[in-house]
Amino acid sequence: MQWNLSPQAVFAASPVVPVMVIKKLEDSIPMANALLEGGISVFEITLRSQIAVEAIKLISETFPQALVGAGTVISTEQYDEVIKNGAKFVISPGATPKLLQHAKSNSICLIPGTATPSEMMQALELGYDHLKFFPAEANGGAKALSAISAPLPQLTFCPTGGISAKNVAEYLALNCVATVGGSWMLPAETIAEKNWSKITELSQSAVKLIQELRQK
């Protein structure tokens, strides 16, 4: 792969990757700014709303210091669209041979979602060694990932799905985990209230917690 930015660099850039669902374009800038002020500079903006691509473009242009990525990308068409609008990396909930091959021949890295040894082996066969474990908790959590990854030491993961301040320590204890994806610093009700200072506080707490866990 001849990617501009490696998945390894994405994983290393932030202790946690916030999974952002932006429903109103007007929330894009204050939400991103709140995360940045809280010490989080890598964003996964999911394609779960009509304005997600616009939000990617707006945040990318407003905050060049951030690594803005697109999540919930499920097709080559979506991959191409988010790249045109400024995404520096792409995350998918799963993976298809078509999407894996397409990203392999392009300049923006793909971090594909996997849940089983077979899916992980297929990704590895095509040169992908930095993967998303999704949905993490629904697939057995840290205990399952530990068992699944044991015979695949070449792989590094960003587990996502059901991760919170209460269970993040279980994942960070695994050697195969470089970072985690989560939305516990972005409660829906807090966004609805536009309480951006609260999101900054939650982000700071998340970063502090993960840094402390990493030092143990």
Q: Which helix (H) or strand (E) holds 211?
A: helix 196-215
3-state secondary structure 85-125: CCCCEEECCCCCHHHHHHHHCCCCEEECEECCHHHHHHHHH
Domains and CATH numbers, the chain: 7-215 (3.20.20.70)
Average pLDDT (40-68) is 99
The rounded distance, in Å, linking the Cα atoms of 197 and 205 is 12
Where does the pLDDT of residue 216 fall: very low under 50, low under 70, confident under 90, or very high at 90 and above? Answer: confident
User: Which residues are annotated as catalytic?
Assistant: 44, 132
Structure tokens given for 192: 């609805």
The rounded distance, in Å, linking the Cα atoms of 132 and 94 is 8
Question: Mean pLDDT over all residues of the chain?
Answer: 98
The model scores a pTM over 0.85: yes
Closest CA to 186 of 41, 21, 13: 21
Model confidence pLDDT, tens digit, residues 155-214? 999 999 999 999 999 999 999 999 999 999 999 999 999 999 999 999 999 999 999 999
Model confidence pLDDT, tens digit, residues 84-131? 999 999 999 999 999 999 999 999 999 999 999 999 999 999 999 999
pLDDT of residue 76: 99
